[in-house]
Amino acid sequence: MAFSADELRVLRRALAIALHPAPLPDEDVQDCLRLAGSVDEAAGEAGRLRAFLLADLARYRNALPGSLSGYLELLQDALAAGYDPRPEDLAALRALRGGPVAAALLERCQVLAERSVRARLAGRAVPATAPAPRSRLLALPGGRVAEPEKPKAPAAPARPAAPSERPAPKPSEVFPPRRRPVPPPQQRAAG
């Protein structure tokens, strides 16, 4: 996750206030709340991307052996991101172990799966397939005191989203598929 210069400025201020509590101006509180919202949105997007990639991995696995190279590439990326190989992955790799890449991945996945099983048997937490939801930032030390609740007016019926609001982009729009490098054309020597 990367922060912009403004977000880093807000983060520095929030950390300084957390270490040395002091009353905050309303503008600083709003900046902190906006930053917390941005972090929540980024974490939610990361969860959606992870779910998309896992579904993509399952589609490639179901299309084996025709999708061999794509599946192996996606599985390597997923393992690098902390994916815990499933029994279906191990079965697919056993069927494909004739190739050197698949054989190496099978060994790696067996080690990871064994570690995962041992951790579960020992009662330790195992990395989840989806990120745990982060709690909302409710109060800042030294921040604004909660205002007493005012009587609320009757809620207006929810109106549909304005057509000018853009829906969240799909992972395929944000992260285009990786292209393999094309080897340079072979030059022939005049004979």
Q: Are 74 and 60 in contact (CB under 8 A)?
A: yes
**Integer-rounded Cα radius of gyration of the chain:** 25
Report the pLDDT value the prediction gives residue 130, as an integer from 0 to 100. 44
Q: What is the mean pLDDT of each run of 10 residues along the chain (191 residues)?
A: 77 80 82 84 85 87 81 86 86 85 88 88 60 49 52 56 63 69 69 53
Give the angle 85-89-90 at the CA atoms, nearest 5°.
90
- The crossing angle, in degrees rounded to 10, of helices 100-122 and 87-96 is 150
The whole-number pLDDT of residue 153 equals 59
- Measured distance between the N- and C-terminal CA atoms of the chain, rounded to whole angstroms: 56
* Global pTM value: 0.47
DSSP-derived secondary structure letter, 143: S
CA–CA separation, 84 vs 117, rounded Å?
A: 10
